[in-house]
């Protein structure tokens, strides 16, 4: 059984060209003119792109006294409907049982996922058991570890713990990820606003200003450099954070930055909405920012100082959000976006001229595949690559409505936004799992774990000053030692 995607424009991260794409089994077999196959998918007028990879999701994750409402089944179905063929989800261990948590995440994903998936492991403390378990985690095909610099008293790690973990990452050839917000300052500002009686969702944004993020990004980058390891900053939301990343990259450090579709498209005005539910539904960390910060993020994506657009899909229902009705610090942090990332970015990025179609592919798929060491199996339209493909119709449009979404929650932060650039077909490993015509339904359990090998070479090449100046003790003549101590 072969499939040919016929008459479209192949849009890759580096170029665009007219060609048919032939798929045999789960892989791309050939790309070129006049190909034929058993099944023909009409791609006239469309862009044939590598399926989206969302490297930042939280499906069925226990967090802030509740659990995200998006299941692996609804979440991966939503992803495929929006042209995303792979998600990378965060495993949060209880204490230092990293392997137990990985087993639990894997069991849920294996049973329900209809798209392919992978994991990042969270490091929420430091112990010998954690040190040992990290090697087992890497051996299981998970080559990235996330650190929270915020959520004091819960997930937050201190600098010494982060340094220890980063050094371990360097030794294992793994990539550290960081949620960069200064958790001490956030906690202090939260108390200040509560004491002043500012208790609504607007105070969530007041308590997490850009300086809090900028400080933490700078600190994380310096700790990474001291540990001799690259670092990936998740949900970069402001110029202060972007500036730190830009500067580090210019100095030759491997620092990566990931803005979210939500921060690019929505601003801080959402928290001033008269409707409490509306504002609370948009509470996430970091919060949405103003237009100057948005412009900075767009500039980073087009110039290459920011590389990836994710969603941090962390979806709670309105009922769950109301846990914080009288205290904004109890509103579960998180927004959805998995299903809408591609059309929102196409509309706000490509249609406005801020991104080329090739840059769109780079930031939604190819760059993260390279960063996570799964390229070109994922993130490429090339012979031998997995046939994870989105056939995106630039002219097809809709108004985003929660009532029509695959996501399991009861609202959508992009409600009412007009988008274009919808998938005509989504293929996952050669199977048509979504079609705009409505005759494809993904099967739960068909998704597969994508193993990501370690990448020690990048780590070894990072801090050249370490290789040049090997630390050693200075041998001193006893004649030059102080006497009598």
The rounded distance, in Å, linking the Cα atoms of 433 and 440 is 5
- Residue closer to ligand DUC by CB (options 332, 357) is 332
CB 214 within 8 A of CB 182: no
Nearest distance from C-beta of residue 316 to ligand DUC, angstroms:
9
Query: Min. distance of Cβ 332 from ligand DUC in angstroms?
Result: 8
Q: Which does 278 bind (CB under 5 to 8 A by kind): ligand DUC, Zn ion, none?
A: Zn ion
- Among Zn ion, ligand DUC, none, the one that 214 touches (CB under a kind-dependent 5 to 8 A) is none
Alpha carbon distances (Å) from 279 to 96, 186, 294: 35, 19, 19
Find the binder of Zn ion among 70, 89, 270, 312 (CB under 5 A): 312
Cβ neighbours of 120 (radius 10 Å): 26
Task: Map residue 323 onto helix, strand or coil.
Answer: helix
DSSP 409: S
Are the C-beta atoms of residues 345 and 355 closer than 8 Å to each other? yes
Q: How many residues does the chain have?
A: 485
DSSP summary character for residue 408: S
Give the shortest CB-242-to-ligand DUC separation in angstroms. 18
User: Residue 279 CB, nearest distance to Zn ion (Å)?
Assistant: 8
Whole-angstrom distance, CA of residue 167 vs CA of residue 161 = 10
Query: Taking CB under 5 A as the rule, which mask of x and - marks residues 12-41 in contact with Zn ion?
Result: ------------------------------
Q: What number of chain residues touch Zn ion (CB under 5 A)?
A: 4
By beta-carbon proximity to ligand DUC, the closer residue of 239 and 258 is 258
Beta carbon of residue 156, minimum distance to Zn ion (angstroms, whole number): 11
At what angle are helices 98-112 and 72-81 packed, to 10 degrees?
Answer: 60
- Examine residue 275 and tell whether it contacts Zn ion (CB under 5 A): yes
Query: Nearer Cβ to ligand DUC, position 337 or 379?
Result: 337
**In whole angstroms, how close is the CB of 201 to ligand DUC at the nearest point?**
13
Q: How far apart are CA 425 and CA 111, in angstroms?
A: 24
283 vs 380, which CB is nearer to ligand DUC? 283
- State the minimum distance, in angstroms, from the CB of residue 265 to ligand DUC: 16
10 Å Cβ neighbour count for 196?
10
446 binds, among ligand DUC, Zn ion, none (CB under 5 to 8 A by kind): none
Q: Least distance to ligand DUC from the beta carbon of 58, Å?
A: 5
Residue nearest to ligand DUC according to CB distances in the complex: 284
Q: Using CB under 5 A, which residues numbered 98 to 127 contact Zn ion?
A: none
313 binding Zn ion? (CB under 5 A): no
Question: Is the CB of 171 or the CB of 177 nearer to Zn ion?
Answer: 177
If the CB atoms of residues 238 and 389 are measured against ligand DUC, the closer one turns out to be 238
Q: Which is nearer to ligand DUC, 263 or 424 (CB)?
A: 263
- CA 180 – CA 318 distance, rounded (Å): 27
Contact (CB, 8 A) for 196 and 138: no
Q: DSSP labels for 10-57?
A: EE-SS-EEE-EEEEETTEEEEEETT---SEEEE-TT-EEEEPEEEEEE
What's the rounded Cα separation, in Å, for the pair 122 and 139? 16
Handedness of CA 218, 223, 227, 233 (dihedral sign): negative
Nearer to Zn ion, 278 or 466 (CB): 278
Nearer to ligand DUC, 324 or 423 (CB): 324
Inter-residue contact 257 to 202 (CB < 8 Å):
no
Which residue number, 278 or 330, has a Cβ lying nearer to Zn ion?
A: 278
The span of 109-117, 311-319, 370-378, 402-410 binding Zn ion (CB under 5 A) equals 311-319
Least separation, in Å, of the C-beta of 481 and ligand DUC? Answer: 52
β-strands 231-233, 255-257: how paired? parallel
Residues 6+ apart with CB under 8 A from 218: 244
Q: Under rule CB under 5 A, which residues in 170-209 are in contact with Zn ion?
A: 179
CB-nearer residue toward ligand DUC: 187 or 458: 187
Task: Answer whether 79's CB lies under 8 Å from 364's CB.
Answer: no
**Using CA atoms in the order 259, 260, 261, 264, what is the torsion angle rounded to 10 degrees?**
-50
Minimal distance, residue 313 CB to Zn ion, in Å = 8
Q: Residue 201 gets which letter from DSSP?
A: T
The backbone torsions φ and ψ at residue 247, rounded to the nearest 5 degrees and listed phi first, read: -65, -45
Closest CB 363 distance from ligand DUC, rounded Å: 20
Q: Which does 275 bind (CB under 5 to 8 A by kind): Zn ion, ligand DUC, none?
A: Zn ion
Asked if 224 and 230 count as a contact pair (C-beta separation under 8 A), the reply is: yes
Residue indicated by tokens 């509470």: 283
The verdict on 152 binding Zn ion (CB under 5 A) reads no
Which residue number places its CB atom closest to Zn ion?
278
The residue among 72 and 360 lying less far from ligand DUC, judged by its C-beta, is 72
Instruction: List residues binding ligand DUC (CB under 6 A).
Output: 58, 179, 284-285, 312, 314, 333-334
Give me the least distance between CB of 287 and ligand DUC, in Å please: 9
Among 108, 110, 199, 278, binds Zn ion (CB under 5 A): 278
Residue 13: phi and psi, rounded to 5, are -70, -25
Site for Zn ion, rule CB under 5 A: 179, 275, 278, 312
């Amino acid at each position: 059984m072969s499939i040919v995607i016929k008459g479209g424009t192949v849009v890759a991260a580096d170029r665009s060209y007219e060609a048919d794409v032939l798929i045999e089994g789960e892989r791309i077999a050939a790309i070129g003119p006049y190909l034929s196959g058993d099944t023909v998918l009409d791609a006239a007028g469309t862009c044939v792109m590598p399926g989206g990879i969302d490297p930042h999701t939280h499906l069925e994750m226990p967090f802030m006294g509740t659990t995200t409402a998006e299941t692996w089944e609804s979440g991966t179905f939503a992803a495929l409907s929006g042209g995303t063929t792979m998600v990378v989800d965060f495993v949060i261990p209880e204490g230092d049982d990293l392997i137990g948590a990985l087993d639990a995440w894997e069991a849920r994903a294996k049973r329900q996922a209809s798209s392919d998936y992978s994991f990042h492991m969270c490091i929420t403390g430091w112990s010998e058991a954690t040190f040992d378990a990290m090697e087992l985690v890497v051996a299981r095909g998970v080559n990235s570890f996330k650190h929270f610099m915020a959520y004091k008293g819960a997930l937050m790690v201190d600098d010494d713990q982060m340094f220890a973990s980063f050094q371990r990452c360097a030794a294992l050839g793994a990539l550290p990820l960081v949620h960069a917000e200064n958790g001490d300052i956030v906690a202090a500002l939260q108390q200040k606003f509560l004491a002043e009686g500012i208790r609504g969702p607007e105070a969530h944004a007041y308590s997490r200003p850009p300086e809090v993020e900028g400080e933490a990004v700078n600190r994380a980058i310096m700790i990474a450099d001291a540990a001799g390891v690259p670092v990936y900053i998740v949900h970069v939301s402001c110029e202060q954070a972007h500036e730190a990343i830009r500067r580090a990259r210019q100095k030759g450090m491997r620092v990566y930055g990931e803005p979210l579709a939500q921060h690019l498209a929505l601003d801080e005005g959402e928290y001033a909405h008269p409707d409490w539910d509306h504002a609370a539904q948009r509470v996430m960390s970091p919060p949405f920012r103003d237009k100057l910060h948005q412009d900075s993020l767009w500039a980073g994506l087009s110039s290459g100082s920011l590389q990836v657009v994710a969603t941090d899909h962390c979806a709670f229902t309105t009922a769950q959000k109301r846990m914080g009705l009288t205290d904004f610090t109890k509103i579960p942090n998180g927004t959805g976006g998995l299903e809408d990332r591609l059309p929102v970015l196409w509309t706000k990025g490509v249609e406005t001229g801020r991104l080329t179609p090739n840059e769109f592919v780079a930031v939604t798929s190819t760059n993260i595949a390279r960063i996570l060491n799964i390229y070109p199996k994922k993130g490429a339209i090339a012979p031998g690559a997995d046939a994870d493909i989105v056939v995106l119709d630039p002219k097809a449009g809709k108004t985003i409505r929660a009532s029509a979404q695959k996501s399991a929650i009861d609202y959508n932060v992009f409600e009412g936004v007009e988008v274009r650039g919808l998938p005509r077909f989504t293929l996952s490993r050669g199977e048509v799992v979504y079609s705009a015509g409505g005759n494809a339904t993904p099967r739960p359990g068909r998704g597969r774990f994508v193993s990501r090998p370690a990448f020690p070479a990048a780590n070894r090449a990072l801090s050249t000053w370490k290789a040049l100046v090997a630390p050693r003790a200075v041998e001193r003549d006893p004649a030059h030692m102080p006497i009598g101590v």
